[in-house]
A and B are shown apart, each in its own frame.
Chain A
Amino acid sequence: SAVISQKPSRDICQRGTSLTIQCQVDSQVTMMFWYRQQPGQSLTLIATANQGSEATYESGFVIDKFPISRPNLTFSTLTVSNMSPEDSSIYLCSASPGQGSTGELFFGEGSRLTVL
Chain B
Amino acid sequence: EDKVVQSPLSLVVHEGDTVTLNCSYEVTNFRSLLWYKQEKKAPTFLFMLTSSGIEKKSGRLSSILDKKELFSILNITATQTGDSAVYLCAVGGGSEKLVFGKGTKLTVNP
Contact at B102–A102, with CB atoms within 8 Å? no
Stretch binding the partner chain, chosen from A12-20, A67-75, A78-86, A103-111: A103-111
In Å, the complex CA distance between A58 and B90 comes to 17
Contact at B48–A103, with CB atoms within 8 Å? yes
Q: How does the 8 Å CB contact mask read for B39-60 relative to A, with 1 for contact and 0 for none?
A: 0011111001000000000000
Contact at B96–A102, with CB atoms within 8 Å? yes
Q: How does the 8 Å CB contact mask read for A47-79 relative to B, with 1 for contact and 0 for none?
A: 010000000001000000000000000000000
Please report which residues of chain B, range 85-100, place their CB below 8 angstroms from some CB of chain A when the two chains form the complex: 88, 90, 92-93, 96-100
Residues in A neighbouring B99, C-beta threshold 8 A = 45
Within the complex, the shortest CB–CB distance from B105 to chain A, in Å, comes to 9
Contact partner, B103, options A42, A44, A101, A112, Cβ 8 Å? A42
Interface size bucket, A side?
20 to 34
Residues in B neighbouring A58, C-beta threshold 8 A = 97
Please report which residues of chain A, range 92-116, place their CB below 8 angstroms from some CB of chain B when the two chains form the complex: 92, 100-110, 112
Contact at A104–B48, with CB atoms within 8 Å? yes
Nearest A residue to B48 by beta-carbon distance?
A: A104
Contact at A43–B88, with CB atoms within 8 Å? yes
Contact at A100–B98, with CB atoms within 8 Å? no
Within the complex, the shortest CB–CB distance from B86 to chain A, in Å, comes to 9
In Å, the complex CA distance between A43 and B32 comes to 17
In Å, the complex CA distance between A44 and B88 comes to 12
Residue A32 at the chain B interface, CB threshold 8 Å:
no
In Å, the complex CA distance between A106 and B45 comes to 7
A-B contact pairs, 15 of them (CB 8 A): A43-B43, A48-B97, A92-B42, A92-B43, A102-B93, A102-B96, A103-B48, A104-B45, A104-B48, A105-B98, A107-B42, A107-B44, A109-B41, A109-B42, A110-B41
Please give me the 9 A-B residue pairs with the lowest Cβ-Cβ distance, nearest first. A102-B92, A110-B41, A102-B31, A43-B100, A107-B42, A42-B102, A42-B100, A100-B96, A109-B42
